[in-house]
Amino acid sequence: MGVPEFWRYNGSLLQVYTLAGGQYSEVETSPTFAPVSVKEIPGFIQEANKNGEIATTRVFRAWVQQKISGGEQ
């Protein structure tokens, strides 16, 4: 495909791949969103199905902001 990064979600598992040396490799963190662990994102998607998209989006944004600022939870 030639894009530097792509995400793949199958309904329960999120995988991120990056391009290096002409080959894609799965990575644990997205270079675009470095402090955010991609393994935690599907939980927010499932929460959105239960609690609604708006409420979950607020929680997700707060979580990302905490990760970016260096805080852990």
**Domains of the chain: which residue ranges?**
5-69
pLDDT at res. 30: 87
Which pTM does this prediction carry?
0.69
Summarize pLDDT for 7-64 with one digit per residue, the tens: 999 988 899 999 999 999 999 888 888 778 888 888 898 899 899 999 999 999 999 8
Q: Which of 1-5, 18-22, 44-48, 68-72 has the lowest mean pLDDT?
A: 68-72
Give CA torsion, residues 17, 61, 39, 27, to 10 deg. 30
Strand bridging mode 5-9 / 23-27: unpaired
d(CA 31, CA 5): 8
